[in-house]
Amino acid sequence: MKYDKRGVSADKTDVHQAIKKLDKGIFPNTFCKIIPDCITDSNEHGIVMHADTAGTKTSLAYLYWKETADLRVWEGIVQDALIMNIDDLACIGITDNIIISSTIGRNKNLISGDVIKTIIERTQKYLDELKDLGINIFLSGGETADVGDIVRTLDVGFTAFARIKRSDVIEVNIQPGDIIIGLESYGQSTYENVYNSGIGSNGLTFARHELLSSEYADKYPESFDPAIPPEYVYTGKMKLTDQSDIEGWSIGKLLLSPTRTYLPVLRELIAKLRPQIHGIIHCTGGGQTKVMHFINNIKVTKDNLFEIPPIFKHIKEQSDAEWQEMYKVFNMGHRMEVYIKPEYERQIIEIATKYNIRAKKVGFCERSEKSSLVIQTESGVFEY
């Protein structure tokens, strides 16, 4: 895969090998690890601590900032890093009362104090916006370090902490006969101010190198790993300011579209259907293949996906990557999916529609002698 050639991994094989012998917590098949409540010694509760970053999207933001001097690009990076944490927590049933801490590592010679100020101030402002939606997340502080010897430009991450009743935990227990309801990743929800391209925070190393011109390699060698073979560095033909298929939107703005949170939708969905949910999967690392980490003797078939958003069409047009790789790297149109019995399909769709987020049945599950995933599209049938 071209993704691997650029020093990144869609399925994190090495990581999964490294952790496979570790204790899986008190619920072995949940989207996030849950440990006993060692703070209050309550046998009725569990504790979750989860960490994630905006990934290499910060390198793309760096390019855009250097080209345009627009500090606002860093505000989206805050949202990217935070949502990679809190939407993961929502997959196990936590949608409120979350404590977060930030970790920012920068190369001080390249990243100014104004950038750090923008990131820190935007963090609290975004938490205030979530509070207006009834979602309480509390900033406990964080660490900002000047580590230019190990960070080429900037790394932005968060750690999230929460407590949950064990009886409220949503485990992944996908069953034969379940359907898959996908929640679209693009468009404009009721709680978003502008159009969202749907790209999220995964696959940005692939996306920027496939789309963007080699001129960025010459101008900003600090924006990529020098160990990447030259034939995989900025191999596209586009500039950040080139217009996309969306009127008024440049390629740079589509790539940097902040990751959508599904918390408002999932909070309501979980409140009404928690006992009926057999799994919520956040299609992040691994894209549409993410569910493969959570199934046992189940064949998952996705045969009714959303139409491919413009940003992924641009990437495919500029790239010679196979469709099979595209579906493994990107969400390709929906970033959250719910596994549940067919009789609850209409209820989930109605909840999502209230927030102007399309939802639909994208697939189904069958018993199988081995775990597998089949994605059926107009461009072919892909098996994983």
Of the chain, the percentage scoring pLDDT greater than 90 comes to 92
Structural domains present in the chain: 2-383 (3.90.650.10)
pLDDT band at 17 (very low <50, low <70, confident <90, very high): confident
pLDDT band at 6 (very low <50, low <70, confident <90, very high): confident
Give all strands of the β-sheet with 98-106 in edge-to-edge order: 35-36, 45-53, 154-165, 98-106, 137-146
Residue owning tokens 């892909």: 382
* Paired residues of 336 in beta bridges: 183, 282
Q: Kindly state the average pLDDT of the residues 288-313.
A: 97
pLDDT band at 4 (very low <50, low <70, confident <90, very high): confident
Listed as own residue / partner, the contacts of 288-291 with beta carbons closer than 8 Å and 24 or more positions apart are 288/327, 288/328, 288/331, 288/332, 288/373, 288/375, 289/10, 289/11, 289/327, 289/328, 289/373, 289/384, 291/174, 291/337, 291/373
Taking the C-alpha atoms of residue 208 and residue 203, their distance in angstroms, rounded to an integer, is 9
Query: For residue 300, what is the enclosing H or E element?
Result: strand 298-302
pLDDT at 14 over 90: no
**Tens-digit pLDDT profile for residues 324-345:** 999 999 999 999 999 999 999 9
Contact 331, 287 (CB under 8 A): yes
Q: Kindly state the average pLDDT of the residues 285-299.
A: 96
Q: What is the pLDDT of residue 16?
A: 64
Contact 34, 47 (CB under 8 A): yes
In a 10 Å sphere around its CB, with 0-12 CB exposed, 13-18 middle and 19+ buried, how is residue 82 labelled? buried
State the amino acid at position 136 in one-letter form: N
Taking the C-alpha atoms of residue 253 and residue 351, their distance in angstroms, rounded to an integer, is 29
| Terminal CA-CA length for the chain | 14
pLDDT at 229 over 90: yes
Q: Kindly state the average pLDDT of the residues 215-240.
A: 95
pTM of the complete model: 0.94
**Tens-digit pLDDT profile for residues 69-126:** 999 999 999 999 999 999 999 999 999 999 999 999 999 999 999 999 999 999 999 9
- 11-43 CB burial, b ≥16 within 10 A, e <16: beeeeeeeeeeeeebebeebbbbbeebeeeeee
pLDDT at 22 over 90: no
If phi over 0 gives left and psi between -120 and 50 gives alpha, with beta otherwise, what is residue 16?
alpha
* Paired residues of 380 in beta bridges: 377
State the amino acid at position 49 in one-letter form: M
Question: DSSP labels for 14-57?
Answer: HHHHHHTTS---SSTTSSS--EE-TTT--TTEEEEEEEEE-TTH
Mean pLDDT of the chain: 95
pLDDT band at 358 (very low <50, low <70, confident <90, very high): very high
Q: Kindly state the average pLDDT of the residues 283-301.
A: 96
Taking the C-alpha atoms of residue 136 and residue 307, their distance in angstroms, rounded to an integer, is 34
Least confident window among 5-14, 38-47, 224-233: 5-14
pLDDT at 8 over 90: no
The per-type count for the chain, helices as H runs and strands as E runs, is 12, 12
pLDDT at 3 over 80: no
